[in-house]
């Protein structure tokens, strides 16, 4: 069926309108592209570029460790059966042949406790009533007390508080000795005469039932034994991964540092131990990659006939412990055993056997930047490129990586570089250098 002329005209008008709409739409798209293309280009290559300022900081290179502490330890053996009453607190230093405890028969326990309580109360009364006494003796006691206070001040200034317990006990002994001296000078004719006579009677009654236990050597007293006291310093290089993991698995959160008021013992039982606090050893394992870096540092110091001194942070301790790396033990595909000695904070670690923490390999100060800002990293000579902004343009600068930890690195300039090629503090650099070309204009 043929269309009429009127229908043909209508069809042509519709086609013309469609062509006009398409042309208008194309024109609008072209105009929008012309308007927004520069902004899009700027968004892709400029506004999305994160810029930062190079600053100085200190970066510590650390690695996790798991280990055990080896000490010079001697078990304290009870000479008989009964109730053992410590006279020295946990962590207190004692000299050879110094009393550390008294051993009494179970039947005489109440009598001994009664005697001691009466003695303490009497000494307190003597001190309170004769505090203002004068004379040469008073000067002696004041000097003894001032000596302990001076020690306390020195320890406080140094930041090493490991001997505070010993100072407290020394002060107690000075005050007790002072009270005893005053009491003896008063005699049985004083107003304390009846109490003195009663004490003497009780003392004679319980003397045959009380045995003084003395320290076989000098050291620090502990009343906790974990079963690993047989490990000697000579065996420290034979400690294995398995040994360390077994000790860590056996660790408990008990209050090992508490001095028990009394200990029920049988003859030849051990009731504590004596720790020689001049030196101890930390045997630990770290990842093999970090151990290789440590071995390089260790060998360099050996060539120079020096010791490699580092620090460790142990979980549960606020202080960092200085250690000297002595050598290396067994190794497998993932980890390596390291042996280190320590001469400080031994008293603070006496309640620890299995430990975890961090070994601080390096503490480096310099220009600190994120690792992601470095490109073209050469793992052999530890060099890399960083992109700095000079006169609004991107410039590649070759630098050396001094240290890196987690997401950051400390960098330095290469030797012999021209001054205009140096990287300086407060220079602007590009944090994410992907798709940034040399000489590219950076919109600040």
Are residue 282 and residue 180 in the same domain, yes or no? no
Residue 22 lies in a domain: no
Are residue 243 and residue 188 in the same domain, yes or no? no
Please give the pLDDT value at position 140: 53
Give the pLDDT confidence of 48-60 residue by residue, as tens digits: 578 899 999 999 8
> How would you class 262 by CB atoms within 10 Å of its CB: exposed for 0-12, middle for 13-18, buried for 19 or more?
middle
Residue 211 pLDDT grade (very low, low, confident, very high; cuts 50, 70, 90): confident
Last residue of a domain, one of 345, 361, 377: 361
Flag whether pLDDT at 422 surpasses 60.
yes
Total domains, the chain: 3
- Residue in the block written with tokens 């030196």: 279
Residue 144 lies in a domain: yes
Residue 29 lies in a domain: no
For 88, residues 6+ apart whose C-beta sits below 8 A from its C-beta are: 94, 98, 99, 100, 101, 169, 221
Flag whether pLDDT at 199 surpasses 60.
yes
Residue 199 lies in a domain: yes
Are residue 133 and residue 191 in the same domain, yes or no? yes
> How would you class 67 by CB atoms within 10 Å of its CB: exposed for 0-12, middle for 13-18, buried for 19 or more?
buried
Closest CA to 51 of 438, 388, 429: 429
Residues forming a β-bridge with 287: 335
Are residue 134 and residue 190 in the same domain, yes or no? yes
Q: State the average pLDDT over residues 415-421.
A: 89
Closest CA to 196 of 183, 208, 206, 207: 183
Residue 292 lies in a domain: yes
Give the pLDDT confidence of 154-164 residue by residue, as tens digits: 555 555 555 55
Q: State the average pLDDT over residues 217-227.
A: 90
Please give the pLDDT value at position 47: 46
Are residue 115 and residue 185 in the same domain, yes or no? yes
Provide the 10 A C-beta neighbour count for residue 293: 15
Are residue 199 and residue 319 in the same domain, yes or no? no
Dist CA 91 CA 173 (whole Å): 16
Tokens encoding 354:
């299995």
Greatest mean pLDDT among 159-163, 219-223, 254-258, 357-361 lies in 357-361
Are residue 331 and residue 394 in the same domain, yes or no? no
Residue 174 lies in a domain: yes
Please give the pLDDT value at position 340: 97
Report which of residues 33 and 402 the model is more confident about.
402
Report which of residues 422 and 117 the model is more confident about.
422
Are residue 419 and residue 398 in the same domain, yes or no? yes
Q: pTM for this structure?
A: 0.65
Residue 289 lies in domain: 62-67+232-253+278-361
């Amino acid at each position: 069926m043929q269309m009429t002329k009127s229908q043909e005209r209508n069809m042509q008008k519709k086609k013309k309108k469609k062509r006009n709409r398409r042309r208008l739409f194309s024109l609008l798209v072209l105009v929008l592209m012309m308007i927004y293309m520069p902004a899009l280009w700027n968004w892709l290559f400029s506004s999305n570029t994160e810029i930062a300022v190079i600053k100085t900081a200190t970066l510590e290179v650390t690695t996790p460790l798991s280990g055990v502490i080896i000490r010079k330890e001697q078990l304290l053996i009870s000479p008989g059966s009964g109730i053992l009453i410590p006279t020295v607190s946990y962590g207190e230093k004692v000299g050879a042949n110094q009393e550390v405890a008294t051993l009494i028969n179970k039947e005489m326990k109440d009598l001994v406790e009664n005697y001691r309580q009466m003695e303490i109360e009497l000494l307190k009364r003597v001190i309170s009533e004769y505090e203002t006494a004068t004379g040469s003796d008073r000067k002696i006691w004041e000097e003894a007390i001032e000596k302990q206070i001076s020690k306390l001040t020195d320890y406080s200034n140094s930041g090493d508080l490991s001997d505070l317990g010993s100072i407290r006990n020394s002060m107690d002994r000075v005050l007790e000795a002072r009270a005893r001296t005053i009491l003896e000078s008063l005699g049985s004719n004083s107003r304390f005469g009846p109490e003195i006579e009663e004490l003497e009677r009780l003392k004679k009654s319980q003397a045959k039932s009380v045995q003084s236990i003395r320290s076989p050597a000098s050291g620090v007293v502990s009343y906790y034994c974990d079963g690993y006291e047989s490990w000697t310093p000579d065996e420290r290089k034979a400690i294995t991964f398995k040994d360390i993991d077994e000790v860590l698995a056996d660790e408990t959160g008990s209050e090992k540092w508490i001095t028990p008021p009394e200990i029920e013992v049988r003859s030849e039982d051990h009731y504590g131990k004596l720790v020689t606090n001049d030196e101890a050893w930390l045997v630990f394992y770290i990842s093999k990659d970090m151990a290789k870096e440590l071995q390089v540092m260790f060998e360099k110091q050996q060539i120079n006939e020096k010791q490699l001194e580092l620090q460790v942070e142990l979980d549960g301790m606020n202080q960092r412990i200085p250690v000297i790396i002595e050598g290396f033990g067994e190794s497998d595909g993932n980890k390596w055993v390291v042996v280190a000695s320590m001469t400080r904070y031994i008293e603070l670690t006496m309640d620890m056997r299995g430990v975890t923490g961090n070994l601080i390999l390096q503490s480096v100060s310099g220009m600190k930047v994120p690792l992601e800002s470095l490109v073209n990293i050469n793992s052999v000579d530890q060099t890399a490129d960083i992109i700095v902004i000079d006169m609004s343009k991107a410039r590649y600068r070759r630098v050396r990586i001094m240290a890196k930890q987690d997401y950051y690195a400390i960098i330095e300039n290469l030797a012999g570089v021209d001054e205009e090629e140096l990287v300086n503090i407060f220079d602007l650099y590009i944090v994410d250098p992907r798709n940034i070309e040399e000489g590219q204009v950076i919109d600040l």
